[in-house]
Each structure stands twice: as structure tokens, then as C-alpha cells.
Structure 1
Amino acid sequence: MERGGTGWLDQAACRDEDPELFFPVSEMGPGARQVAQAKAVCAQCPVQQQCLSYALENGLQYGIFGGTTERERRNQTRRASGRPQGTQAA
């Protein structure tokens, strides 16, 4: 399978789920429950790492991918780039 491709999507645990589950309005309040439900689907997914890699490589800013929220992916990207958390790139 080519790196960054989407052939893994056929194996994704979320393929039969409502896509809206993976796009909560917020991570707090009622949205926290939705985030937990989406992450539970991701936790059982055989292609979770491919999904996360795809989201990071393509700069996907919204939604749950690979068991991570937007904020968690931003933090991973900042750590990987050596920027302290809470700072923005210029």
C-alpha cells in the first residue's frame, strides 16, 4: 500500500458509522460524550495508525481521526516540530 494513500479506508472501523459522530461541535459538555464514542470506535480500528498519519500528513484540522481530536493532533504536530505547546507558527 502506498504511503499516504487511502486504500486502508475499506478496513476502517468507522466505515459503517454516521460520519457526524466524528465531527463533534465541542470537546466539552455533550460534545465530550460524542468524542468518547468516536474514540471508542477508533480504539477498535485495525487501521487507526494509517488514519492518524493521513490526518497529520494532510493537515486535517477538524474531526476525530486515528483516535485523536483536533487539539491532540495540533499538540502532536507542535511537539514534532519542537515548538512549545501554546505557541503558534509565524
Structure 2
Amino acid sequence: MAHFHRLPGPIADIWAWQHRGACRDRDSAQFFHPDGERGASRGRRENAAKRVCERCPVRAQCAAYALSTREPYGVWGGFTEHERLQILREGWSGELDVRGLEARLTTPSR
């Protein structure tokens, strides 16, 4: 479940990064799994979404947003929901830990 109390207020500057996202004009279905999707089908969709994220200029901000709000669904900043849970378990310290997050962005997924 998302932690809505962690979301910032409606301040345009905080959300402006979203306008520069590589995913902005894409179908959101590429980034969020439909009910019952599993196995190879899910892996192909997630990998295609991650390829979009690889060239995104706001990838770190997107990933930080998803981690700080505990976004429960989809690929954000190149990380699936399962990968984000792993990052949180390993001790991601919040939006200020962008350097640590950027280091993860440059290493291949496990």
C-alpha cells in the first residue's frame, strides 16, 4: 500500500521532473502489470519498461519518488516493485540518498 502521507503537496516544482520522463507519452500498461501476468510475459514487459528507463533523464528522481512513497506497483526509475522492496530492505535512507541510488542504477540488476 502506498504511504500517501509521504507525498509532497501540490507544488509544481516538486513534480516538474515528471514532464521530462522518457515514459511520458507511452502507454502506462508497459510499466504496470495486468492482473494475472506472470513468468516470461511479465519479464518481457518489465525488461521493455526498463529499457525506456535506461535512457531517461530523470531516472534517479523517479526511482527516489517510488521508494520514498513506497509505490507498490509498476516499474519506476528502472526498478520493479520487487527490486524496490529489496532496496528498502537493504536500508535505502530516503530521497537524500540519491548517490547510493545512482550507484545502483549503473549496476546490472541481480
The alignment's TM-score, normalised by the length of structure 2, stands at 0.66
SS in 2 for 1:50: helix
Alignment partner, residue 26 of structure 2 = 17
Q: What is the CA–CA distance in structure 1 between the aligned matches of 2:84 and 2:46, rounded to whole Å?
A: 14
Which consecutive unaligned segments of at least 5 residues does structure 1 have? 82-90
Corresponding residue to 2:88 among 66, 77, 85? 77
1:68 aligned onto 2:79: yes
Which consecutive unaligned segments of at least 5 residues does structure 2 have? 1-10, 93-110
SS in 1 for 2:78: coil
Alpha-carbon distance, 1:29 to partner? 1.7
SS in 2 for 1:63: coil
Figure out how many residues of one structure are paired with residues of the other and give that number.
79
Matching residue's letter, 1:13? A
Q: State, as a whole percentage, how many aligned pairs show the same letter.
A: 38
Alpha-carbon distance, 1:27 to partner? 5.7
The alignment's TM-score, normalised by the length of structure 1, stands at 0.80
Alpha-carbon distance, 1:28 to partner? 2.1
Q: What is the CA–CA distance in structure 1 between the aligned matches of 2:38 and 2:18, rounded to whole Å?
A: 25
Alpha-carbon distance, 1:72 to partner? 0.3
